[in-house]
Structure 1
Amino acid sequence: MPIVVDIDVMLAKRKMPVGALADRVGITPANLAVLKNGRAKAVRFTTLEALCEVLECQPGDLLRWEPGESAESEESAEPDGPAG
């Protein structure tokens, strides 16, 4: 996925355990794990805002784009010519 989540980086910089971040943001540790491991399909702005507030950072400190094909474009790609 071309969107990379850097929550671990900010946690390390702030020397904060994952459980403490989940408690302070108001989400479950399981949902935070899904987000920080890059398996989330979406993030609510209210959650992003809370993460930024607790970690004292900007959204760009948590999310970045890396060039590459997304899963959607790979799934919708047409084959190169007739099947034979």
Structure 2
Amino acid sequence: MDDALSVQCSLTELLAERGMTLTHLSELTGISVVNLSVLKNDRAKAVRFSTLLAICEALSCTVGDVLHVSSPGAR
């Protein structure tokens, strides 16, 4: 499946831009650090809309800022 498109998460970059930790994002959203870490490290197989909305609200961003489609071999 190396030639397939994939969905990548930009939480690392978004948190760095805001000087925010995963722990602080967890406190703001009520989403566990473990679940945020799974998402941040691109290990999530699915994401609830409510999770995305909570992250977007806490980071003042859009879903497109959090998730993007990546070409094969790109990050």
TM category, shorter: 0.7 to 0.9
The match for 1:53 is: 57
Q: Deviations over 1:13-60 (max 9, x none)?
A: 111111000111111111110011000011100110000000000111
TM-score (norm 2): 0.85
The match for 1:81 is: none
1:33 alignment partner AA: S
Q: Find 1:23's aligned residue among 21, 27, 49.
A: 27
**TM-superposed deviation, 1:2:** 1.0
1 CA distance for matches of 2:53 and 2:67? 12
Identity level (%): 44
2 CA distance for matches of 1:41 and 1:26? 20
Q: Which runs of 4+ in 1 moved over 4 A?
A: none
The match for 2:11 is: 7
Gaps of 5+ in 1: 69-84
1:54 alignment partner AA: A
Number of equivalent positions: 69
CA RMSD of aligned residues (A): 1.5
Quick check: which has more Rg, 1 or 2? 1
Gaps of 5+ in 2: none
1:62 alignment partner AA: V
TM-score (norm 1): 0.77
